Amino acid sequence: MKFLVQRVSQASVYIADADHTNSIGQWLLIYVGIHKDDVTDNRKEKVDKFVRRVDKLELFSVGELPSPPAPLPKGEGRKKSVGLRDIDGELLVISNFTLYGRNKKAGSIDFTHAASYDLAEPIYDYLIQELRNKWITTQTGQFGAMMQVTSVLDGPVNVILEW
């Protein structure tokens, strides 16, 4: 699995088929790519590992927050960085098979390393379920749909996680 995690000041996704927009304010926009090997190789463990990793990512400094996390645990006021667990942050999660695109020849992109739609969708659904269990505000796109994503990068801060 490959994840592109972006810190944003705002992000939204318009799903044309549903004529619906999901959006978040400041926090994280996450693009999810599922590799063809993920459908058999410890997929639940990989998703669980990602959820734990996002929980521990400290991509926000207290001085950059619109208001300090309330309340910070005792002794945490001097902390330079905080994570989603500290600020009750919002997530916007978008499936993106193109994260596994490879350019072997000029102009030609190979997507054969991405999992097929029917095998990747249950993994994506499980990921969303686990993220929603952890964070109240987890918005999504629609798996496999054409979407228009708009975001304002904050920093910019971009992190690629892969395993």
How confident is the model at residue 163, as a pLDDT? 82
| Cβ neighbours of residue 152 closer than 8 Å, sequence gap 6 or more | 8, 9, 10, 11
Residue 69 pLDDT level (bands cut at 50, 70, 90): very low
Structure tokens at 67: 């208001």
Question: CA dist 126 to 45, 121, 130, 146, Å?
Answer: 11, 9, 6, 21
pLDDT of residue 151: 97
pLDDT of the residue at 20: 94
CATH topology of domain 2-162: D-tyrosyl-trna(Tyr) Deacylase; Chain: A; (3.50.80)
Pick from 2-6, 78-82, 140-144: least confident: 78-82
Q: Which residues pair with 29 in a beta bridge?
A: 6, 92
* Domain extents in the chain: 2-162
Confidence of residue 125 (pLDDT cuts 50, 70, 90): very high
Report, as an integer, the average pLDDT of 124-134. Answer: 94
pLDDT tens, residue by residue, 38-68: 987 688 999 999 999 988 888 876 665 555 4
Sign of CA dihedral 139, 1, 8, 79: positive
pLDDT over 50 at 149, yes or no? yes
Inform me whether the pLDDT recorded for 118 exceeds 70. yes
Q: What is the mean pLDDT of residues 142-154?
A: 95
Q: What 3-state class would DSSP assign to 134?
A: helix
